[in-house]
Structure 1
């Protein structure tokens, strides 16, 4: 059976035309909206986007606490926009399998939106699975049930399904929300994109992509405040977590990251008139076999902005290349970095603290500060750094490399810091 192509515009029109009918009241004042009661068919072939839109409109219009339920079965669904504002907080719970309707193409211009699922303008959203055998698994553009995994163990391994899409899930203007027990597999771009959100918690996530897959950031956070990400396993081909411009008071903790490009602030300075970044805390995380570790990066050529009050503390590095790095030559190419061509980045990086960072480095330069000649890094602190070399030549000793950086040190320093 041919699966129809559904665009984002189609989804929005369907949302506007949808009319809700049946629902079931569960518990005290809670109304459950089952997608099958609105025509969704778990046959694995029908595009159910219209039914999902109808259910969303019904729940969003409810005056009692509402829960959208996707029951057992396999449901196909095209790109969808779940949009508010809603009258009540919404729980979106997936118990079955939801597969994305996408075309097998490498031409991203064929898509009218940059994400498969968009939750937008909602106050009080909970996105989750249910029970130990019904966690949500996103496989490219696919929601699929998976077994619960301990965040200290390895990410779940599923067959790789080749879908061509962009971001899997975007949360835009979602306030006072919780996302938990979600697993994302092989997104073609960001797995989760958090933007213009306030007071959002993401926990117990399991995010997986091939180690060489480009731009598959696990979680990208921008123009948002009071976001907390914790107790999750993330292994991708890009940053496990990346902090974009306009991020304010972001807390990241208890993350197992690897493979990937580490946990990064940036890249910053790519666009004109970017907002400042302030108040980033990354703590109690383990990074294993990643290209970078604790990283701050900005473009070599950029307009003025600031990144300040950034703390990486209590971090374990396991065979990490470039465990501690500030790179303001981003985008300038390896040749410029090797010749230490002065960066002219106007992203002012200051008040940065690397504290109690231990483990092993896979390269002999474990601490790198490539800061801007125009706006040098200031107020950088290295406190209790204890890293050992874990490369092929075990006899090598670690070193540091610094350009245009003003820093202080305290406690144990291995590798030895750059000369003042």
Structure 2
């Protein structure tokens, strides 16, 4: 039973809110089955010989002061050229690492594990890697696993620079995979990244499990996990607290499964921002389930620029979600235009349809617990609400719907 009562209607709103019954789309079923069959990574069987390369043996220093990039690259070159499964081992200690890129284009091995028992530390001087784009980069790799350990981006000095209004580097993403396949990241902690903590871009079959992300709530642009132009990505059993989106979903993402993620502090789980480019790939087949949001700016959000675009969002399921004192628990914002810059027509061209909100309970930190502010040119369609109950100060929260069509179960 929907508990948001009669929608709160602004004097500027053209409100079209939501009728009855729910039809479970085939896309959700396909998405579910995909992640139970396509995320079985075929590593070498246990009888295969595994070759080990210890970075400390190859010259890395666990003193947190000596740049160990050359030792890591030596280990990667050996593991990459191996015909057998290979493990690069980082023992206990703090290993300073400058910006480092690992390429898989010429690799013979299709099963390389980076096992971290210690901590990798970025340079404390943000100018050292602040313009490199990525601190630890994997590109065109297949069958790479990153297991355990901590990545310390030491981003505090750069955040202070940005928050002061001075001219600063953009900052580096801590860990990124570009154009890669069959990736596994398990049990990894990322703290105080300069910018994004983890990026999956242009990749297929990535499994992120047991991830811990930590940065202060006021750290700028420190998204926990960003996925873009990728398919068959799974994010499971993770805890993310940061200064931006816990998980952000960019253009061209499909078949993304997010389950059992605790978010806070942060800006929630966001599809977007989308629609910056006219010719932009869409987002589809997204499932977010069994997530908890605590004290976040947003809960589940879709955000698009108020610009012409041929992008789209469709076949999205938000299910079994708990909200604890969240400012905007459920929000679609298609009029995103900070400071009214770069938004020439003030109308979003991104088409949004077939989004289901099911079993979403908890508390809103503001009176309006659900806000659908959709494009006046392309209204949201196919929005389904099923067992949504949000309260504000122990009373049912209000809703605001602009250019939104759908149904309530």
Residue in structure 2 matched with residue 139 of structure 1 by the alignment:
152
Partner of 1:216 in structure 2? 222
Pairwise CA distance, 1:249:
0.4
Q: 1:327 aligns with which of 333, 339, 350?
A: 333
**Cα distance in 1 between the residues matched to 2:235 and 2:196:** 15
**What is aligned with 1:96?**
118
SS in 1 for 2:223: coil
**1:230 and 2:236 are equivalent in the alignment:** yes
Other-structure match for 1:7: none
Q: Paired residue for 2:61?
A: 41
Distance (Å, rounded) in 1 between the aligned partners of 2:349 and 2:188: 38
Q: 1:358-379 CA distances to partner (integer Å, 9 max, x unpaired)? A: 0111111011010001111111
Cα distance in 2, alignment partners of residues 44 and 74 from structure 1: 5
Task: Tell me, yes or no, if the aligned pair for 1:207 and 1:235 is still in contact at 8 Å.
Answer: yes
Native 8 Å contact 2:48 2:85 kept in 1: no
What residue is the counterpart of 2:137 in the other structure? 118
> 1-side partners of 2:176 and 2:77: how far apart?
19
Cα deviation, residue 343, structure 1: 4.9
Distance in 2 between residues matched to 1:183 and 1:70, nearest whole Å: 14
Determine if the alignment matches structure 1 residue 389 to structure 2 residue 395: no
Q: Which runs of 5+ in 2 are unaligned?
A: 1-45, 160-170
In 2 relative to 1, CA 120–74 (structure 1 residues): closer, same or farther, beyond 3 Å? Answer: same
Alpha-carbon offset, residue 98 of structure 1: 2.4
Mapped to 1, the partners of 2:207 and 2:47 lie a distance apart of: 25
Task: Map 1:11-410 to 2 at 5 A.
Answer: 28-85=48-105, 86-88=107-109, 89-105=111-127, 111-129=130-148, 136-141=149-154, 162=157, 165-333=171-339, 343-390=346-393, 397-410=396-409
Question: What residue in structure 1 maps to residue 42 of structure 2?
Answer: none
Please report how far the alpha carbon of residue 34 of structure 1 lies from its aligned counterpart in structure 2 after TM superposition.
0.9
Q: In the comparison of the two structures, how many residue pairs are matched?
A: 348
CA distance, structure 1, for counterparts of residue 92 and residue 65 of structure 2:
15
TM-score (norm 1): 0.79
Note the alpha carbon deviations across 1:56-112, whole angstroms, 9 max, x for none. Answer: 00100001110001122332211000110321210001122322235244xx9x745
CA distance in 1, matches of 2:404, 2:63: 60
| Whole-angstrom CA distance in 1 between matches of 2:47 and 2:68 | 28
1:151 counterpart residue number: none
Deviations 1:294-338 (A, max 9, x none): 11110011322111001101101111111111100112559xxxx
Per-residue deviation, 1:28: 4.7
Measure how far apart 1:27 and its partner are: 7.9
Compare the two structures and name the one with the higher strand fraction: 1
Deviation at 1:45, TM superposition (A): 2.5
Query: What whole-Å deviation, never above 9, does each CA across 1:221-267 have from its counterpart, x for those lacking one?
Result: 00000000010000111110011000010000000011111111111
Q: C-alpha distance in 2, partners of 1:94/1:177?
A: 16
4+ long deviations beyond 6 Å: none
Q: 1:343 to 1:365 in 2, by over 3 A?
A: farther
**TM-score using structure 2 length:** 0.81
CA distance, structure 2, for counterparts of residue 213 and residue 43 of structure 1: 27
State the alpha-carbon separation in 2 of the partners of residues 252 and 367 from structure 1. Answer: 21
Contact 2:151 2:189 in 1 (8 A): yes
- Aligned twin of 1:414: none
Query: Using the alignment, how far apart are the partners of 1:368 and 1:249 within structure 2?
Result: 25
CA distance in structure 2 between the aligned counterparts of 1:90 and 1:362, rounded to whole angstroms: 46
Maintained 8 Å contact 2:389/2:396 = no
* Number of the residue aligned with 2:21: none
Higher RCO, 1 vs 2 (CA within 8 Å, ≥6 residues apart): 2
Inter-partner Cα distance in structure 2 for 1:354 and 1:343? 27
Give distance in 2, aligned partners of 1:138 and 1:61: 26
